[in-house]
Chains A and B, each alone.
Chain A
Amino acid sequence: MSSVTEAVSSQALLEARNLVREFQVSKGGAFAGTETFRAVDQVSLALHAGRTTALVGESGSGKSTTARMIAKLLDVTSGTMHFEGEDVTRASDATLRRFRANVQVVFQDPFSSLNPKHTVDRIIAAPLDYQGIRGVDRRVLVKTLLERVGLNPDHSSRYPSQFSGGQAQRIGIARALAVEPKLVICDEAVSALDVSVQAQVINLLRDLQQESGYSYLFIAHDLAVVRQIADDVAVMSSGKIVEQGTTAQVFDNPTEEYTQALLSAVPVINPEWEVRRQQTMGRIA
């Protein structure tokens, strides 16, 4: 697994090495002291342009903490992060601003991550202000973005509450794309959506990647979704990456016992039923 990582690491868009994050947690009862809890332990990842890397694991595996460190929403305890070859581990000011213009996040719950008092117009254009980007026609940009994510561009003066969950998530995606980022971190971005809407949003993310060559870091607990969207997969457990490789490798020939247990726990529909359904519908012979 390490050979795969290193072979391509030279041209990685973002490269994280040995990331560690520790938290102080209270020990036992209310009156005891604190102890150190290592949520992420020596995690290394290389993210590439045009590729989707999924970070999977169960609750408490450290996948979200890792994502937040890579998005620089959380400081690392130790380890290094390079973006396009530049060390951004402790970046501040100008470097950080440049980093934020290149790395955007789409969150799980679209409604709580969109300000309900702002219009879609303002929500989508906000990152431009934060990055100090001027000389762009906001109206044109917002309309183009809404079209790209499959929403009606005439709805730009509406508020988030006037949209369905799937549409709100599209707004979140449009906001992330406003600054033309190179890396988009999708933190359980489709987990809260109904299956039919989920499928549409996954398709949208794929189409956008094909158009613009984004690199996705896809955080998810749903392995079936990951199998559909990811090129590379890293499986996390107890803060560590236990297995890493291409999606086909990890899903078809998992080498680690943990990955095997995780995969076999995923409920599947009897494949014979599915074949018969496809036959009935005349899709396959």
Chain B
Amino acid sequence: MITYLVRRLLAAAGVLVLVALLTYWIFFALSPDPAVMICGKTCTPDRIDQIRATLGVDQPFMTQFFTFLGGIFMGRTYGSGEGAIECAAPCLGFSFQTNQSVLDMIAERMPVSITIAVGAAILWLLIGVSAGVISAVKQGSWWDKAAMMVALSGISLPNYFIALVLQYVLVVELQILPFPSTPAFGEDPLFWFQSYIMPWSILAFGYASLYARLTRANMIDTLGENFVRTARAKGLSSMLVLRRHALRPSLTPIVTMFGMDFAGLLGGALITETVFGLNGVGKMTSDAISKNDQPVIMGVTLMAALFVIVGNIIVDVLYTTLDPRVRTKVA
């Protein structure tokens, strides 16, 4: 177990370095000179050179990359003398456009993204899984057909479209909900809830649709298994057959998917946050992209990759406790 984990973590570190290298290469080598962007239009060549030196972009690519990697572990200093900027370890970079370290920016906005992700996840698991189970059990019924129609629309309709429609109807026209903002829960619980309910629902709708279809398919497969027939032949109640014998094998693959989806969402719900103007990691990323704030994009990309990789490892380890066949082999 320990050696397995060490192996997985080493592999994860390797993947992260590769992701970093690729992202770094794409943004710093292919996009316009960041120094020019920062300096603005009325800029002398001298000034540009100075900024370039501060950013370190006058160095060759690999040197820049290793400086960046070094910053993560040891911190780094931008420029020198009076105007030097300290960025303590772990330094994910420094945004000269906002004059903030990228890590601080992420940390500031993380609570909003976590709130969105957790709320949406609870909703989509509850709705998606139960809808899928009911559909499988009542396969071919009007409920099944209706639920799968809704699920299909949830998968096909882009969520920015639903978000805009909802926002218009509920907030602008009917004025049932206030314009969403990002208050702390303690300040005004009702306003907190009203602000988040739309983004939660929008995100949950898409995922729930996917989960409902997957749960239904898994469940129908499992219900056809011989061991379900055995359970019935034992005289167990249909509820017990369903809950104990059919549900657990059907849900195990869902756990894998959930781990990945949830980890992905922690990296920010880009579209939903932007549409509702919620100041989470996703909105920050979309702002950074529009302003070409490369250190921020770089930092968020790395962090999102980290979440997904860690999520993946957690799911794999969890799987061994969920499926006894993975845990133990023939004695």
Nearest residue (CB) in A for B319 is A30
Q: Is A273 an interface residue (CB 8 A)?
A: no
Complex CA–CA separation, A45 to B4 (angstroms): 42
Partner of B326, one of A27, A28, A30: A30
In the complex, the answer to whether A31 meets B328 with C-beta atoms within 8 Å is no
Tell me the smallest distance from the CB of A203 to a CB of chain B, in Å.
35
For residue A31, which residues in chain B have a CB less than 8 angstroms away from its CB?
1, 3-4, 320
For residue A29, which residues in chain B have a CB less than 8 angstroms away from its CB?
1, 320, 327-329
Within 8 A of A (CB), among B299-331: 320, 326-329
Complex CA–CA separation, A27 to B3 (angstroms): 14
Number of interface residues of B (CB under 8 A): 8
Complex CA–CA separation, A26 to B329 (angstroms): 8
Q: A227-254, CB under 8 A of B: which get 1 and which 0?
A: 0000000000000000000000000000
Number of interface residues of A (CB under 8 A): 6
If over half of A's interface residues share one DSSP class (helix, strand or loop), that class is named, otherwise mixed; here it is loop
For residue B4, which residues in chain A have a CB less than 8 angstroms away from its CB?
30-31
In the complex, the answer to whether B1 meets A28 with C-beta atoms within 8 Å is no
For residue B320, which residues in chain A have a CB less than 8 angstroms away from its CB?
29-31
For residue B329, which residues in chain A have a CB less than 8 angstroms away from its CB?
26-30
Within 8 A of B (CB), among A15-73: 26-31
For residue A28, which residues in chain B have a CB less than 8 angstroms away from its CB?
328-329
Tell me the smallest distance from the CB of A59 to a CB of chain B, in Å.
13
For residue B1, which residues in chain A have a CB less than 8 angstroms away from its CB?
29, 31
Complex CA–CA separation, A28 to B3 (angstroms): 14
For residue A27, which residues in chain B have a CB less than 8 angstroms away from its CB?
329
Nearest residue (CB) in A for B316 is A30
Nearest residue (CB) in A for B328 is A29
Complex CA–CA separation, A271 to B319 (angstroms): 55
Nearest residue (CB) in B for A25 is B329
For residue B3, which residues in chain A have a CB less than 8 angstroms away from its CB?
31
For residue B328, which residues in chain A have a CB less than 8 angstroms away from its CB?
28-29
Complex CA–CA separation, A148 to B6 (angstroms): 62
Complex CA–CA separation, A13 to B296 (angstroms): 72
Tell me the smallest distance from the CB of B34 to a CB of chain A, in Å.
45
Complex CA–CA separation, A30 to B321 (angstroms): 11
Complex CA–CA separation, A26 to B3 (angstroms): 15
Tell me the smallest distance from the CB of A222 to a CB of chain B, in Å.
24
Tell me the smallest distance from the CB of B10 to a CB of chain A, in Å.
15
Tell me the smallest distance from the CB of A93 to a CB of chain B, in Å.
38
Tell me the smallest distance from the CB of A39 to a CB of chain B, in Å.
15
Q: B1-34, CB under 8 A of A: which get 1 and which 0?
A: 1011000000000000000000000000000000
Tell me the smallest distance from the CB of A98 to a CB of chain B, in Å.
41
Tell me the smallest distance from the CB of B108 to a CB of chain A, in Å.
39
Complex CA–CA separation, A209 to B23 (angstroms): 67
Complex CA–CA separation, A28 to B327 (angstroms): 9
Complex CA–CA separation, A27 to B328 (angstroms): 9
Complex CA–CA separation, A29 to B319 (angstroms): 13
Complex CA–CA separation, A133 to B46 (angstroms): 76
Tell me the smallest distance from the CB of B328 to a CB of chain A, in Å.
6
Supplied contacts A27-B329, A28-B329, 5 more A-B pairs, CB within 8 Å: A28-B328, A29-B327, A29-B329, A30-B329, A31-B1
Of all A-B residue pairs in the complex, the 5 with the closest CB atoms, nearest first, are A31-B4, A31-B1, A30-B326, A30-B320, A29-B328
Q: Which residues of A contact B (CB under 8 A)?
A: 26-31
Question: Can you list 18 A-B pairs, Cβ within 8 angstroms, ordered by A?
Answer: A26-B329, A27-B329, A28-B328, A28-B329, A29-B1, A29-B320, A29-B327, A29-B328, A29-B329, A30-B4, A30-B320, A30-B326, A30-B327, A30-B329, A31-B1, A31-B3, A31-B4, A31-B320
